[in-house]
Structure formats: C-alpha cells, structure tokens
Chains A and B, each alone.
Chain A
Amino acid sequence: MSALVTVKNLKKYFPLKTGIFRRETVWVKALDDVSFDIQDGETLGVVGESGCGKSTLGRTILRMQEATAGEIIFGGDNIAAMDKESLRLKRREMQLIFQDPFSSLNPRMSVGDIIGEPLEIHLALDREERKKRVEELLGVVGLSPYHLRRYPHEFSGGQRQRISIARAIALNPKFLVCDEAVSALDVSIQAQVINLFMELQSRLNLTYLFISHDLSVVRHISNRILVMYLGKAMELTSTSKLFETPLHPYTRALLASVPVPDPHKKVSRRLLTGDVPSPINPPPGCVFHTRCPQAMDRCREEVPQTKESTPGHFVACHLY
C-alpha cells in the first residue's frame, strides 16, 4: 500500500485580536505541527475531545481553510501550495461530508439539482445524461429515483446524509473527509449510514479520513486511528493495537472514559481531572502534562517528538 495523502508539519493558527484597541494579536493553535499519512484505500479515524483540532484538520487538508504552514501531498501534488484554479479542479478527487445534514443542503434546491451540481461544474454532460447519473447515484446511496424532484426539507436526517454522500461521490473522488458525519443522527440510523460508508469504500475504492468523537464508531470503521489533543497528534496506530495496547497516557484515559453498556459491571476508572488548557496559551513542553497522571519534570520542559515505538505504532510521549 502506498500513501494517498501525506501531511507534513501541518500548522493552522487562527489570529485573535485582543487588548483594548484590538491591536495585539494572539494565535489560537488549532493544529500545531501535525504529521501523518493516509494509506490508499484505508480509513483513518481521528478522535479527540471537542476543540482538539479534529475538524480543523479535516478542513485544512481539503484546503477549505488555508494552512498556516506545512505540506499536504495528495496524489503527488502539494495541496497547500496550489493555485486557486487547479485547486478547484483537484476538488473532484477529494470531498467533504458535513456533520449537520440540515444545514449542509441548500433548502431552495431540489435533490436532483444538489447531486447534479458537481456534475454540472466538472463534466460536460447533457441534461439527460446528468439525470441518469443522478438517478444512479440515488440508487447507490439507497434512495429512489423519484426522490429527485423533492426538496431537502421533505427528508429525514439519515436520508439527508445519504443525499450529502451522493453529492460527495458524484465525481468518483478518491478521498473523503467525513467530519462527524454520523454524530447528528440517531444511533440506529448511524449504523445504517456507517454500513453505507463501508459498502461504498469497497465498491468505489475510497479512502476516508473519519473524524468523530465517538470511539465505538471510529473503532468499527477505521483501520488506523489518530488520537489528537490540543492541536497535536498524540498517538497513531492500527485500531486493534490502539484498543489493546494504548501507549500514550491520554489515549488510555480516553479509552477508559468510554461508557460500558452494562450496569452491573464495576469498572475501575482513572478519569482525568481538570479541563483542557486553552489553545491560546498551550502549556510548555508536552501539552498534556497538566493532566497527565505520569507527568515527569521533563514533560514540563521538552516537547516530545513522535517516535515509532513498535513498527507502525507512533506515539509522542517521553515515556517511550
């Protein structure tokens, strides 16, 4: 397998003006020096608490917002340095699926127009061909051709998410970023949509970056998982290794916080105390040291480098 997407030292800082005259600029470090790659055909899950930079990561990789520094290599081209027009053409190959199926569809456009729009922009199809392709796409995502003329408000959340998916796969992309794509749905619907994602992956040879805060969802769908905390990558390894032998103290705490659906089972939990520090002034050294049960003096001073502790298991922690 080869890497489809390679992210090198990606940084995304948001400026925030403060002070009485709004003259001082401080930076919110939403992504701070993140590097990893995504293999062709795999699903890379991204987990972390709210505000850890998961969504920023997905959006920056697709360049829906500009990166502050770093490289994003996609199919040999550096997305971060592309000019506007080639980026627009490159969008055929990479797509984003949004969290909220209610605001991600234009209420004034029919489903046929919504799904047909990418075809209209990128392909020179006549009306009939486009309609045929839209009907085919509706079938692929489990809707019926007669839904074509309806408007988004006539659908349920799960159906709307299917429409979003149909729009995203209309141009046969290679890479999909799913930004909390199932979190807004009911649990039973979540399962259906996740199954649709997996089915599409094997059928269309898709690569996913699957962002979620729900560990069980990520565990189900991902081949590998990236754990993020405060804009930094903490640990990256295969799903089985992450759940069996988590190395980073933060990963362990995260796994321990997963609720167990059995009221009689007593679990001993070592939950974290305190809150996530502000990304405006992240702690020096390892960003996690303020909450880490195993913090040492070194953690407060030195930023841990990402190490490959065992083959394919990357961790950024001084313990290893």
Chain B
Amino acid sequence: MNPNLQRFLKRSARNFGQFWRQLSRNKLAVVSLAMVIAFGLVAIFADLLYEYDFVTSNSLENALLKPGESGIVYYQEKDIEHTYILGSDNYGRDILGRLVHGARVSMIIGFATVAIAILIGGVLGAIAGYKGGLFDTLIMRATDILLSIPTILLAIAIVAALGNSFFNLLIAIATSMIPGYIRIVRASIIQVKDQEFVEAARCIGAGDLRIVLRHILPNITSPIIVQATLNVGSAINWAASLSFLGLGILPPKPEWGNMLSEAREFIQYAPHLLFAPGITILLTVLAYNLIGDGLRDALDPKLKR
C-alpha cells in the first residue's frame, strides 16, 4: 500500500478513535446509534424482507388479525401461509411489512431534506456571514420572516400550494429547515472569519471561494453535523405529521404517518394498529435526537481531554 495512504488511514483511525471514545461515554448515544444503524439496514434491505407488492395488496379475509396470528394469503397466484408478527391492518396487510417499507420512505425523507436544507441554507448563510453588509441584511431578514411562521404550518402551506407529491413533501420540509442552517452557518462563519489564519490566506492571495471552502468551512463542520443529525429526526417527524394529515405520502403506499392516520378509526377494537407506527416514530426520532446530543458533546472542543 502507498505509504501516504497508509499514514492517512492511521491518522484518521486515531482521530476517529478519539472521537469514538468521547461518544462512547454517552451510553444513550451508543444505543441510539445502534438502533439507527439497525433501522437503516432494514430500510435498505426492505425488499428482501417483504416484497413491496405484498405490503400494499389487500387480503380482506385476514383483516385485523392480532399480533402473531397466521392467515392464508393468496399472493402471486398461489396460496401461502403467512404469520403476521405484528398483526394485520383493516385491509389484511402485514403491519410489520408496512413498517419496514415505511422505514425506507422515512429515511429517504430524513436524509434528502437535510441534504437540501444544508446545501441551500449553507450557501445563503455563507454569503450572509462572509460578505456581510446588504447581503447579510437581506438574507437574515428573509430568514426572520420564515422563522416567524410555525414550521409545521409553513410545510402545510407549501404542500397545499404546490400539490401533493413526494417531491413537494421534500421541498416543504427542507424549506422549513433552511432558516436554521442559515443562522448556524452565518454565526459560525462570523466567528471564524476574523481569525488571523483567514487574514493570512488573504495575504497570500487566496480568493474568496478558496478562503470559504478551504479555510472557513473545515473549521465549522461540528455545529452543522450536530444540527443535521437532530434535523433528520425532526424531518421524519414532520413527514409523518404531514402524512397523518393527508398531505404527504398517501395510502396505499406504506408510510408511518398515514398508517397512524388509518389506524385511528380502529383504536377501540385494535389499538395495536396505532401502537406499532406510533412507537416506531417515537423510537426513531428519539434515537436521532440522542445521537445529536451525544455528537454535540463529543465534538465540543472545550470538553476534549
């Protein structure tokens, strides 16, 4: 192996080791991380666990089975015996299967919206913080206006205006998160840009783009990473809320929010229909929040020993 690469790997391993030691002190964060990784794997391999057609097709004779009960399902032109581990919903669909495929939707929404928000919010925040002056005033006042509207209301308004689709749902959630990133990036850049190494870079003739990308950005990644982790949880929560209200992913597509919404009618006969997606949402969002808190502590240079 190339010695440079070797050295780089060794150094990264050491840095990661230090970071991991910090993070692993926080047991909750470690458990949460394990959970998020498990959910992620389930989302990625959802098709191997349950076929998508299976979790969306009706099998009315098996409606509202209790957890653990089995039924005969006519699927792909044959009768198969199927055990409903978490029971079945009012159309006889496997709840666990729908949760598994719902996890995929939630993960995509969580990561895609945060990526969009970081990209747009990051660029705007960088311009506001680095350029200052009129740019700063315009961008920050626009941010204040966006922040003055309650996030969920803003997302509802956007979906209602643009129409109901997966892409519009992403736009709506990302837009509600953008102001947060603008503020974080702007504040961090203002903190770093007056340090002498930035002035030194200007002195050797570095252009603005190089200064921002090579000198400022690498020094402000920690707060962005923390905010991004926390926001993945919120995005999943908002997506579920919008779907619950009928503004996001619509049935028969499996999504945690619309599962909850459909289950509402059966709360008296089959409460497990509500508990399954409800507890899943709770655990996922909680896990992302706990990881975010753990990362914040682990990445804080003041706590480094």
Contacts and interface: CB of A to CB of B under 8 A. Distances in A.
B142 interface: no
Interface string A263-306: 00000000000000000000000000000000000000000000
A92 B205 contact: yes
A109 B214 contact: yes
A96 interface: yes
A1 interface: no
Contact of B204 (A103, A108, A118): A118
B203 A64 contact: yes
B199 interface: yes
Interface string A150-178: 00000000000000100100110000000
B18 interface: no
Contacts of B210: 121
A117 B206 contact: yes
A100 B204 CA distance: 17
B200 A104 contact: yes
Contact of A103 (B197, B205, B206, B207): B197
Interface string A38-67: 000000000000000000000000101000
A149 interface: yes
Given A118-B204, A118-B205, A103 B214 contact: no
A122 interface: yes
A100 B205 contact: no
Given A64-B199, A100-B196, A103-B197, A91 B215 contact: no
Given A106-B219, A107-B219, A95 B201 contact: no
Contact residues on A (Cβ < 8 Å of other chain), bracket: 20 to 34
B204 A117 contact: yes
A89 B201 CA distance: 13
A163 to B, nearest CB: 11
Interface residues of B, number: 19
Contacts of A197: none
B195 interface: yes
B202 interface: yes
Contact of A167 (B196, B200, B202): B200
A88 B196 contact: no
B7 interface: yes
- Scoring B195, B204, B214 by chain A CB atoms within 10 A of each residue's CB, the highest score goes to B204
A96 B205 contact: no
A98 interface: yes
A149 to B, nearest CB: 6
B205 to A, nearest CB: 4
B123 to A, nearest CB: 20
B204 A91 contact: yes
A233 interface: no
B205 A122 contact: yes
B150 interface: no
B133 interface: no
A30 interface: no
B197 A106 contact: yes
Contacts of B214: 106, 109, 117
A205 B134 CA distance: 45
A95 B204 CA distance: 7
Given A109-B214, A149-B7, A104 B205 contact: no
A105 interface: yes
Contacts of B196: 98, 100, 103-104
Given A96-B203, A109-B214, 14 more contacts: A62-B203, A64-B202, A88-B207, A98-B199, A103-B196, A103-B197, A104-B199, A106-B197, A107-B219, A108-B218, A117-B204, A117-B206, A149-B7, A149-B11
6 contacts: A98-B200, A106-B197, A117-B204, A121-B205, A121-B206, A167-B204
Interface of B: 7, 11, 195-197, 199-207, 210, 214-215, 218-219
Give me the 3 closest cross-chain CB pairs, A-B, nearest first: A108-B218, A91-B205, A104-B196
